[in-house]
Amino acid sequence: MNVSLSEINVFRNLLYGYYEKNYRSMPWREDTSPYNVFLSELMLQQTQVNRVMQKFNEFSSVFANFEAIAKASLHEVLLLWNGLGYNRRAKYLKSASEIIVNNYKGVLPQSFDDLKQLPGIGEATARAILVYAYNKPELFIETNIRQVLIFHFFSMEEKIEDQKLLQVLHQVVDKENPKMFYWAMMDYGTFLKKQFGNLNSLSTTYTKQSKFVGSQRQKRGQILRLVLHKPQTFEMLNSELKTSANELNEIVHQLEKEKLLIFQNEMYYIG
């Protein structure tokens, strides 16, 4: 799909007009240090902004840089992470910080390939980090960006592939100030979702999020909270969770595999 110059100008004027009136202040926007950006991008994966903002301030006040996280124990990192969910991200953050300190002297790399090698960092997150930390005009799609592009350029279509969205994004992105452009896309996309519903449902990537209550994801979080409080036996965990022994065994085995838990002397500890 080709977007004319006049269409690009109209789109950008509308986008920036909304952004100027409705800018959302966030700690990682006010201070776009590479560390702040990296931390916020990991926290924002599958977690709402409002939940992240409070936890971000708590976390960064204790761990002010990659060196602080690298030196801390996983137990200390998980204690502060607790409440955000998807706890393996805390393990990724700890491991990534160690790599950044040991291999890059504590400085977040500016190469896409180097970023993508870090634990927990996929293609979209790596490109988002390059945009927000280094103002590089990368192309990436996430929920709010997809919402805006579908609303303005594909609202009459269904089963829209991200590749088509990327072709349009390549034409409309503000290469002079990609950081501000993507901030505007995020804020505007949030507004559009509230007004018109989730247009991501028109995308081929759309899947409904599974129910949280009673899920293994919920039970993983419960297990880690219990072990963070004090080491647990299998029987202690089973008594608290009231789940089947087979399911509990499956969950703790996966947590051990991810090195979030270790099993020693019949007790589970944080890895």
What are the boundaries of each domain within the chain? 5-24+138-202, 31-134, 216-270
What is the torsional sign of CA 106, 109, 114, 118?
positive
pLDDT in tens, 235-255: 999 999 888 999 999 999 999
Its CATH architecture, for the domain 31-134, is: Orthogonal Bundle (1.10)
- Rounded CA separation 153/170 (Å): 13
Of 147, 76, 68, 130, whose CA–CA distance to 100 is shortest? Answer: 68
- Rounded CA separation 150/185 (Å): 12
Q: Is the pLDDT reported for residue 200 higher than 90?
A: no
The one catalytic residue among 7, 20, 30, 41: 41
Contact between 203 and 221 (Cβ < 8 Å):
no
pLDDT in tens, 153-191: 998 888 899 999 999 999 999 999 999 999 999 999 999
% of the chain at pLDDT higher than 90: 80
pTM: 0.87
pLDDT at 211: 73
Query: What's the Rg (C-alpha) of the chain?
Result: 21
pLDDT at 242: 81
Q: Which amino acid is at 74?
A: L
> Mean pLDDT over residues 1-23, rounded?
96
Q: Which amino acid is at 212?
A: F
CA 200 centroid distance within chain: 17
pLDDT at 46: 86
Of 115, 143, 147, whose CA–CA distance to 131 is shortest? Answer: 115
Q: Outline where DSSP puts E strands in the chain.
A: 261-264, 267-270
**184 Cβ contact partners less than 8 Å away, ≥ 6 residues apart:** 15, 16, 18, 19
Just give the CATH number of 5-24+138-202: 1.10.1670.10
What does DSSP assign to residue 198?
Answer: -
Just give the CATH number of 216-270: 1.10.10.10
What is the torsional sign of CA 124, 127, 131, 134?
positive
- Rounded CA separation 97/108 (Å): 9
Note if 20 is an active site residue. no
Q: Is the pLDDT reported for residue 256 higher than 80?
A: yes
The per-residue pLDDT of the chain, averaged, comes to 93
> Mean pLDDT over residues 110-131, rounded?
97
Q: Which amino acid is at 259?
A: K
Of 209, 212, 190, 204, whose CA–CA distance to 143 is shortest? Answer: 190
Q: Is the pLDDT reported for residue 146 higher than 90?
A: yes
**172 Cβ contact partners less than 8 Å away, ≥ 6 residues apart:** 3, 8, 11, 12
Count of beta carbons in the 10 Å neighbourhood of residue 226:
16
